[in-house]
């Protein structure tokens, strides 16, 4: 393939991805706002708000396996993200600040990347991530399903209280007011 042809292919690919992301954003912008902290009526049988945090084990970017039980008794903000996701990258500095500010009060931010470990490690290092950074491909999607999340778009976050119950699911980028409403009340124990 000639250099000119490769350059044209790269430009077309970038434009196609951009158009797809713009279309996804436009679709999401026209969807009704979903409640994020209201439990559904009746018992929850498989994940979702009101259900126990699912059991899972995933590797971090260094290859060590982490089991969800190591965070028992903590308030968890489990954030599903990817390096190629602009809203995911936008919210990461807020998650770093949140872990800094409230880690000593029992908060644990856990990033679960639907991405390759090399990309995740490089990005996390560049950003100065101070929280658990796990990764997986199908395994990470399976964990999301355990939280009652049908992964359609990223980022998606689950909030778990100290008793291990899922108390909120948030679709889309987390902003400061979202974090204040979803996480801070759980730290007032």
> For residue range 100-117, what is the model confidence (pLDDT) as tens digits?
999 999 999 999 999 999
Q: What is the pLDDT of residue 16?
A: 60
Which segment of 44-58, 69-83, 141-155, 163-177 scores lowest on mean pLDDT?
A: 44-58
Q: Residue 171 pairs with which residues in a beta bridge?
A: 156
Q: What is the pLDDT of residue 5?
A: 73
- Is residue 134 within 8 A of residue 111, CB to CB? The reply is yes
Q: What is the pLDDT of residue 189?
A: 59
pLDDT tier, 143 (very low <50, low <70, confident <90, very high otherwise): very high
Q: Residue 112 pairs with which residues in a beta bridge?
A: 80, 134
The C-alpha atoms of residue 42 and residue 30 are separated, in whole angstroms, by: 29
pLDDT at 154 over 70: yes
pLDDT tier, 31 (very low <50, low <70, confident <90, very high otherwise): low
Q: What is the pLDDT of residue 137?
A: 85
Please give the average per-residue pLDDT across 121-130, as a whole number: 96
The pTM (predicted TM-score) of the whole model is 0.75
- Is residue 178 within 8 A of residue 98, CB to CB? The reply is no
């Amino acid at each position: 393939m000639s250099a000119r042809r490769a350059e044209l292919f790269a430009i077309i690919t970038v434009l196609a991805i951009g158009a797809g992301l713009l279309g996804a954003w436009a679709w999401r912008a026209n969807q009704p706002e979903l409640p994020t902290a209201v439990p559904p009526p009746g018992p929850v049988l498989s994940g979702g708000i009101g259900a126990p945090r699912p059991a899972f084990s995933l590797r971090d970017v260094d290859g060590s396996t982490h089991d969800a039980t190591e965070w028992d008794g903590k308030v968890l903000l489990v954030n599903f993200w990817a390096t190629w996701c602009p809203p995911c990258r936008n919210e990461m500095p807020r998650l770093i600040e949140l872990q800094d500010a409230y880690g000593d009060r029992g908060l644990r931010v856990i990033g679960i990347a639907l991405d390759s470990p090399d990309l995740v490690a490089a990005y996390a290092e560049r950003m100065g991530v101070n929280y658990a950074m796990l990764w997986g491909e199908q395994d990470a999607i399976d964990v999301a399903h355990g939280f009652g999340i049908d992964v359609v778009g990223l980022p998606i976050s689950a909030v778990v209280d100290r008793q291990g119950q899922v108390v909120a699911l948030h679709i889309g980028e987390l902003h400061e007011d979202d974090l204040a409403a979803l996480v801070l009340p759980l730290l007032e124990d």
